[in-house]
Amino acid sequence: MPYLTRSIAEGHRPRVAILGAGFAGLRCADILIQNGAQVTLFEARDRLGGRVHQNMIQNHMVDMGPNWIHGTGKNPIVSIAESTDTVVQDFEGNQALIAPDGKPVSDEVAEKVSDVLWTIIAKAFKYSNTYKETIPVDRSLFDYIKEQVGQTDLSEQEKALCIESSKMWGAYVGDSIERQSLKFFCLEECIDGNNYFVASTYERILEHVSRTAREHADIRLNQPVIKIESCTRDDAAPPSTTQVTLTTASGDISQYDEVIVTCPLGWLKRNKAAFNPSLPPRLSQAIDSISYGRLEKVYITFSRAFWHVDDPAAAGAAPPPPPGPNTPTYKSYQIPTFAQFLNPTYSTTHPPHIQWNQECISLAALPPQTAHPTLLFYTFGPCATHIVSQIAHLDPSSTEYYETLHQVFEPFIARLHNYSPTAAECQPLAYLATQWQNDPYAGHGSYCNFQVGLEQGDRDIEVLRAGMGAERGVWFAGEHTAPFVALGTTTGAYWSGERAAAGICEIYGLGKIGVGVGRDDSLPSARVAAAGAAVAAVASAGGGTS
């Protein structure tokens, strides 16, 4: 489009609006500002970060959104963590396994079951990559795991534990494993390398990623956009022709050359009518086809980490009560990093029609400078929806909020090492739960996933990436448009912002870094167009999953 390139020489700096100030929008703004565009950032909330957000429980700061950096191989978020002195932890510690009857499983059996399960999951990734074209759309990961477990030499009891443990996969994707597509399981594979837990929270990383936008963008908080009107590009149009008109919920109308929509996939599903003219049928189909997860978190903090024999978060605290004569001495049970509670038969407070498999992380196992006596439970699927529905209208500081969540989680807390119902240290000081399913700006959920029935998941993602930038000046970014190895992650959102920005820079012939905006992690001008090409290459190569 020659006229677009000429427009720079004539002094026309492209006016670009970005909808959403999460990692995708912030990184997109960073690149565009560095290369001379005028950027307006619309954010429906009163803060930056989107689903990257922190809150306090007692005097501990915790992440309400992502806790992890998935994969260390060439991961820019790892580099940012290092440069900002963010504390991360490679969590490969002890995993306590609590059987459905409430009794801890021995270290030997728990390790054996875990090894078999993760070997099968690794095989499932390869199987999905190899046979994606022929795997039936209704075949689930759970179907595959049950089949593979049946072929092992595990005892019948161990097989049952292995199959039940596999249901914890829901904590990775936000919904039940029975719904996980085997055909597109390959799209759930992450960047090579270790997974880091962000021990000191994403706060400094967010501050770093948002710095250029905070300093140089026109940021409009509390401004949800309700209408996106565009027209087909005309190559003969003059450089100043406006392509896209935005209307906010307050009635403000503004016009831009380009618009990047980084709103979550769940928002797109519920707000397709915001686009005028309507989205192309294939793009609309892609939005409908990809599923949206229901991952939620519940933080529970105590005066001390009573469940640890050697409690790194209990300096100066009174010693724990002596264990009873029948208390197991399994190391994974006495010093857990993770605890898995398989579908409990010992609880009478949970709705019986919902599976209540739970997984939690002991934040007392974090590095000493960040450790605190808190359990982080990951809830997903129907049980997450049930919990969110119970607390939706409760004040988080109220007694009713505490008691509602305590009724759900007390049966699990009571199965931890050293628990005593009469000990004050075994009673939670506070609960803090996410409610992403109640958040319209999060799209009433967590992030994209790939469920049974999906026919063209990889192509759907590519269609979302392509958007309508070339035709109507409307681009899409966000974790649901990431390279296949980073879908559903902060890294994927970050990369998607780079891709969308690179596409606009290429159209307008931008390449000079803005004065005074240089950054250690900036994308050099010579690499702007290459970034878009590189992301496209990953997509065309089948996502680079391995």
**Whole-number Å distance between alpha carbons of 114 and 366:** 22
- Nearest Cα residue to 307 out of 87, 67, 98, 165: 98
**Whole-number Å distance between alpha carbons of 383 and 387:** 6
| Residue 489, phi then psi, degrees to nearest 5 | -130, 165
**Whole-number Å distance between alpha carbons of 503 and 37:** 13
**Whole-number Å distance between alpha carbons of 403 and 461:** 42
- Nearest Cα residue to 494 out of 246, 299, 185, 262: 262
- Start-to-end CA distance of the chain, whole Å, equals 37
Q: Tens digit of pLDDT per residue, the chain (546 long)? A: 444 443 444 557 899 999 999 999 999 999 999 999 999 999 999 999 999 999 999 999 999 999 999 998 889 999 999 999 999 999 877 899 999 999 999 999 999 999 999 999 999 999 999 999 999 999 999 999 999 999 999 999 999 999 999 999 999 999 999 999 999 999 998 898 899 999 999 999 999 999 999 999 999 999 999 999 998 876 545 544 568 999 999 999 999 999 999 999 999 999 999 999 999 999 999 999 999 999 999 999 999 999 987 655 554 455 555 555 566 778 888 888 999 999 999 988 888 889 999 999 999 999 999 999 999 999 999 999 999 999 999 999 999 999 999 999 999 999 999 999 999 999 999 999 999 999 999 999 999 999 999 999 999 999 999 999 988 999 999 999 999 999 999 999 999 999 999 999 998 988 743 322 223 333 333 233 333 333 333 233 223 322
- Angle of helix 23-34 relative to helix 490-508, nearest 10 degrees? 30
**Whole-number Å distance between alpha carbons of 297 and 391:** 13
| H-run or E-run covering 16 | strand 15-19
Strands 358-362 and 338-341: antiparallel
Detail the DSSP E strand segments found in 250-325.
253-256, 258-261, 275-276, 291-292, 296-301
CATH topology of domain 2-50+202-290+454-540: FAD/NAD(P)-binding domain (3.50.50)
